[in-house]
Amino acid sequence: MKHARRLIVLGLLSFAASAHAEQTVPQWAVQTEGRQIHRADGWQATWPGVNWRARVAAQAVGVTLNDAVNFYSLEVDGKAAQTIAPAAGERTIWQDLPDRKPHLVRLFKMTQSPDNPGLFRGFTLRGGHALELPPKPRRQIEFIGDSWTVAYGNLSTTRDCTDQQIVERSDASQSFAAYLGKLYGAQIQNNGMSGMGMVRNWGGNMPQVDYRSYHPRLLQNLPVSTPGNNADHRYNWQPQLVVIALGINDFGTDVGANEGRSQEQLAADYLKAYHGLIAELKQRYDNPAFLLAATFLWPADRMRPLVSQVVDEERQKGTTVAYVDWQNIELTGCNWHPNLSDHAKMAAQMDTSIRTLGNIWDK
């Protein structure tokens, strides 16, 4: 009898241990979205909006990070469960799950970090197991833009922000890009980069590079020639729609006397580069549709007429293209950037323009 009781106790202890055992979610059970590089020890990313998903049935899920720069959102079933602040060193952050039923968990990179690739080691489960995820959506949208696209300072209630507050108050999961991805049930790439223009950066900064210098890279901090860093060679990315929103930095400030070109030459360079980028993307992605965005820039309104011209000239070439003029936005985020309400409004205006393109998804 004592022997039987001992076996029962050992069995209960074994069951309890297994119920709390930790196991790593295998790679086959993790879906990725956005530009990133997969290494032996995890995933690295610099662009905003990169995310990882897993479907699990467990008591708790952990995410292991080594990232001293970026903020992340850990979501459960589409709702933010906790915000993870940057911290030095490797650590695992745990989130209890309400029951052992299947749940969809997602880790979302809220911020951009062009010079600092964060490392996500993967998901860990406590007292549970990973489940198979449904196939990725067939619809794909690529967003090309600047700080407006990355949702710079969109959480802020004041325009005055320190550098640290800009990072703390930026959330790409609440950008117009994220909203449109959800609206259309599409995979997205938020390939936005603050301060960059089509041919000229904000205030004429860094004249040796522009946005086009970084667009071919999976990690912005490495040259495109680095093995495995060429985004053109990334498989399974063939967006039906490309959204381009570049020009705020080109024309938001007047050309300086020391920049080596006039305001008129800047306009000509911009038009040529814009058409060139579209031609490259049409070839790479097998003639996707395009949405080109612009807005009024005080006081000269230089951006909207030029983007409208690009749209007209591309239509004459047979390009499937629409135009959106962002209007009635408050710009009360950090440093006169769109706030949360603006991003929702901008997404709605973009949706109206996208719907003029017809059925672009069943190519």
Phi-psi region of 97 (alpha: psi -120 to 50; beta: other; left: phi over 0): beta
pTM for this entry: 0.93
Average pLDDT, the chain: 94
Radius of gyration of the chain from its Cα atoms, rounded to whole angstroms = 23
Give the per-residue SS3 of 2-55.
Answer: HHHHHHHHHHHHHHHHHHCCEEECCHHHCEEECCCEEECCEEEECCCCCEEEEE
pLDDT of residue 251: 98
Rounded to an integer, the average pLDDT of 19-26 is 84
| Low-confidence winner among 19-33, 167-181, 247-261 (lowest mean pLDDT) | 19-33
Mean pLDDT value across residues 258-268 = 96
Mean pLDDT over 210-221 rounds to 98
Calculated CA dihedral for residues 24, 30, 33, 37, nearest 10 degrees: 60
Number of residues that make up the chain: 363
Q: How far is CA 281 from CA 81, 165, 319, in A?
A: 37, 35, 11
User: What architecture is the 22-131 domain classified under in CATH?
Assistant: Sandwich (2.60)
- Which pLDDT score, from 0 to 100, does residue 11 have? 39
Amino acid at 78: G
Mean pLDDT along residues 62-76: 98
Examine the pLDDT at 7 and tell me if it is beyond 70.
Answer: no
What pLDDT score does 21 carry?
A: 87
* Distance separating alpha carbons of residues 333 and 338, to the nearest angstrom: 5
pLDDT reported for residue 20: 62
The pLDDT of residue 233: 80
Give ranges for CATH 2.60.120.260 in the chain.
Answer: 22-131
Q: Which residue has the higher pLDDT, 93 or 5?
A: 93
- Residue range 171-179: average pLDDT? 98
| Residue with the two structure tokens 């070109």 | 261
Q: How does residue 235 score in pLDDT terms, banded at 50, 70 and 90?
A: confident
Q: Looking at residue 14, what is its pLDDT?
A: 34
Average pLDDT over residues 209-228: 97
Give pLDDT, residue 76.
97
Helix (H) / strand (E) containing 312: helix 303-316
Model confidence at 173: pLDDT above 70: yes
Q: Where in the chain is the domain with CATH 3.40.50.1110?
A: 140-357
pLDDT at 100: 84
CATH assignment of 140-357, among 3.40.50.970, 3.40.50.1110, 3.40.50.2020, 3.40.50.300 = 3.40.50.1110
pLDDT tier for residue 313 given thresholds of 50, 70 and 90:
very high
